[in-house]
Structure 1
């Protein structure tokens, strides 16, 4: 047997014919900072969470103030406890009917503003 066997196939380097093609866009820095959990990413996330917390506390506070004032109304104006509209006592009307639109409006305000906060945050982080 001969030790001088013919050499194997030559190695060939294969490259893309489209070397001038546009490359994939890089991830914006802000998004990368958040994904990699760097200190700057933590600052971005903490600002988002603080904005959401402020909104939550404002909506809960406003709703609580409006709904919490109902018992105060009955206490300060005793005539409201016995006042009737269409044969129904006013407290029943307020607690059974009026409360729900107040809660609905508060929820709509919260959702709309929370979406706005998230959109602004996404736009800001995307520009970085």
Structure 2
């Protein structure tokens, strides 16, 4: 009995396998991964940008919320003013503070994402 021969196997290779390989171009992400001096500078830049944003948002919130006691001190009738049957200080501290904090948080998140996107695009181009 003879065994039937199946289809012959063919090995497919790329025509460029024998071509000289170029070393990969240095990128910013590689600099960061390898913790080179340039990578440290990139990361320091990112951290500084995030720190500036954080301090700006905190300062803005402190100015807005810090002005509430100043308002009550400079304008004494506001301490006893009623709004919808509630004292104005309660309305401000119990209700109006939350939208201020929410808006500050939204601003922070949007700007932090923008900073990270710009950083990623910049490092990817390097």
Match of 2:85 in 1: 87
Structure 2 spans left out of the alignment, 5+ residues = 1-11
Per-residue deviation at 1:85?
1.0
Q: How many residue pairs are counted as aligned between the two chains?
A: 112
Per-residue deviation at 1:58?
0.1
Contact 1:31 1:125 in 2 (8 A): yes
- Look at both structures and tell me which one has the larger radius of gyration over its CA atoms: 1
Change (3 A) 1:27 1:95: farther
Please give the residue correspondences for 1:66-81 in structure 2 after superposition, counting only pairs within 5 Å: 66-81=64-79
TM-score by length of 2: 0.83
Q: What RMSD over aligned residues (CA atoms) do the two structures have, in Å?
A: 2.1
Contact 1:84 1:90 in 2 (8 A): yes
Misfit runs of 4+, over 4 Å: none
Change (3 A) 1:47 1:36: same
Contact 1:28 1:126 in 2 (8 A): no
Structure 1 spans left out of the alignment, 5+ residues = 1-15
Match of 1:20 in 2: 16
Specify the SS of the correspondent of 2:35: coil
1:47 and 1:97 map into 2 onto residues whose CA distance is 38
Per-residue deviation at 1:86?
1.4
TM-score by length of 1: 0.82
2:59 and 2:78 map into 1 onto residues whose CA distance is 25
Match of 2:55 in 1: 57
Contact 1:28 1:127 in 2 (8 A): no
2:90 and 2:83 map into 1 onto residues whose CA distance is 10
Q: Does 1:47 align with 2:45?
A: yes
